[in-house]
Amino acid sequence: MAIIEFNDVRFTYDGQRYALDGVNLRIERGSFTCVLGGNGSGKSTLAKHVNALLTPDEGTVRVLDADTSDPESLYFIRSNAGMVFQNPDDQIVSSVIEDDVAFGLENLGVPTEELQGRVSRALAQVGLQGFEKKETAALSGGQKQRVAIAGVLAMEPQILVLDEASAMLDPRGRKGLARVCRELNEAGLTIVLITHFMEEAAQADRVVVLEAGRVVLDGAPTEVLTQAERLRDLNLDVPFATSMSMELREGGIGVPVCLTTDELAAGLREIAPHETGRLAEELRTRAFKPTSCASGTEPILEFKDVSFTYQPTPKRKKRRNAVQTDATPADWGNDPSEYWALQNVSLELRRGEFFGIAGHTGSGKSTLIQLANGLLQPTAGTVLAHGRDLADKRAAAEARRDVGVVFQYPEHQLFAATVYDDVAFGPRNLGLSSDEVEERVRTAMSLVHLSVDELRDASPFALSGGQQRRVAFAGVLAMQPTTLILDEPIAGLDPQNRHAFLRLITELHDEQGMTIVLVSHDMNDLARLCDRVLVLNQGKEFANGAPAEVFADEARLRSVGLGVPDLVHLANLIRINFLGGN
């Protein structure tokens, strides 16, 4: 029985181009459907039609047999079709976590005696028990996303729509969300998952792929996710195990085409032990960047026993009425009693390095980068830039000019009426002449592979998502920093735009000589691009060294909510299965 029906649906935002163009789609009650597509393919537009945030210009959408265009059905539809958006800041409405989770329940008129139990259960499902009284503004991006998910789960909808809800989560958080989704689906909840993580798509019952507002692929994961060439034409990837198994087959190793790494390891059981040992070593070698010479250069940024807290005094109250649940804060990488955002961190950043930072959500990554250019001041310890203490206001001001920071979703930094004015804003504030501003804008936009002449008078808000991100990046580069700090800069991008953005960052490092600091939840990127990687855990240094050293112990990293590069994980599985390793 269909719980969601799209019948010849067309929708346009501007009256010129259809964001949905003749969509016909039936989603069965109790199913788990994944929707894929490149940026701008219509995924989020489709999702917003499911809970009637948007209604069709042509055709009909029926949810639980109610027409979404019928005003009298809106309350019923929105009460039963819960949606989690890509950016949690678009969904969080209250300053305290438990109030935010209760917001939807209060609007539904849930009795007070029932409301608190629902809030507690929902927070427990996403590993945030004990966080009830914490302020939402003090949370990391990943923690905010889990608050948003809890707010929807507390409403106990019949349909759950997740629009890139895992984009801000660390590996443990993504696994936790996947577990919750499986449990809810097994209990009868209908799930519609929008994602760019192919491994998440492989866990669904059905995969639907959109392009230019049309359904172009539809079928079981084994049917859709193995069409490597077709998916790449659609700006998508295939799961790692699928790509790897196809590569092995081309190399003469007769493994089946697989969707998961465990399946691939099982498929290799027919291979001789001496062959798997050689393969494991080749995989490990391919995972990491060759050794860099940057380790011998002078430090440009130093942290000396740095600690930082957002709270003036520690608050350690015993919780009452704790909810019992199989999920624990450790399952998600949280400790609600943690007082320090950073504690006794010492490190050096060397000129010309490509430096990576990893850690679970709330581990202190964003706090560290804000300390790096003086946006925050340490509670204890010292931060030095070129030997100068950033506690000095003049030194901090110089550091902010020299160290460019690109935050999560950099397109949210856009604000001007035209592309030119947005990129030129920083240089103009430096008091440069119009000719100097022009030169800086041209240079910055050239670095991000955009044309000033074509986009000068265009509104940045009329550009594609990938172009918006490049314009925001150009605005940082126009200040001519020598160091770039990027905080999850590729979150929410489709695979094609993601690869293009990483190539751009690599060019700036290799060809322009910039020092790069990359904060990421993607272990593959950190291993492949970085000279050194710092891992934070609960605000403390957990590991710091060359990627091959940091990712050597998979079990230890998984204990703090992280993983290892896919190639290393496969090599470890091969070693365990065939060579008796550990």
Q: What percent of the chain has pLDDT over 70?
A: 92
pLDDT of residue 274: 65
- Average pLDDT rounded to a whole number, residues 407-421: 88
- What would the 3-class secondary structure string for 502-563 be? HHHHHHHHHCCCCEEEEECCCHHHHHHHCCEEEEEECCEEEEEECHHHHCCCHHHHHCCCCC
Q: Given a cut of 90, is residue 424 above it in pLDDT?
A: yes
pLDDT of residue 292: 56
Q: Which helix (H) or strand (E) holds 578?
A: helix 566-579
Give the pLDDT band of residue 345 (cuts 50, 70, 90).
very high
Structure tokens at 446: 């050239």
Look at residue 355 and give its three-state secondary structure.
strand
pLDDT of residue 102: 93
pLDDT-wise least confident of 8-12, 250-254, 302-306, 565-569: 250-254
Give the pLDDT band of residue 338 (cuts 50, 70, 90).
low
- When computed from its CA atoms, the radius of gyration of the chain, rounded to whole angstroms, is 24
Are the CB atoms for 35 and 234 separated by under 8 Å?
Answer: no
Phi first, then psi, for residue 351 (nearest 5°) are -55, 130
264-287 confidence digits (pLDDT tens): 888 887 765 567 778 888 888 899
Are the CB atoms for 389 and 302 separated by under 8 Å?
Answer: no
Are the CB atoms for 320 and 161 separated by under 8 Å?
Answer: no
- Who has greater pLDDT, 265 or 224? 224
pLDDT of residue 172: 83
- pTM exceeding 0.75: yes
Q: Listing from the earlier edge strand, what are the strands of the sheet with 483-487?
A: 403-406, 483-487, 515-519, 354-359, 532-537, 540-545
- From CA 475, how far away is CA 479, in angstroms rounded? 7
124-163 confidence digits (pLDDT tens): 988 888 889 988 887 877 788 889 999 999 999 999 999 9
**Residue linked to tokens 């998961």:** 260
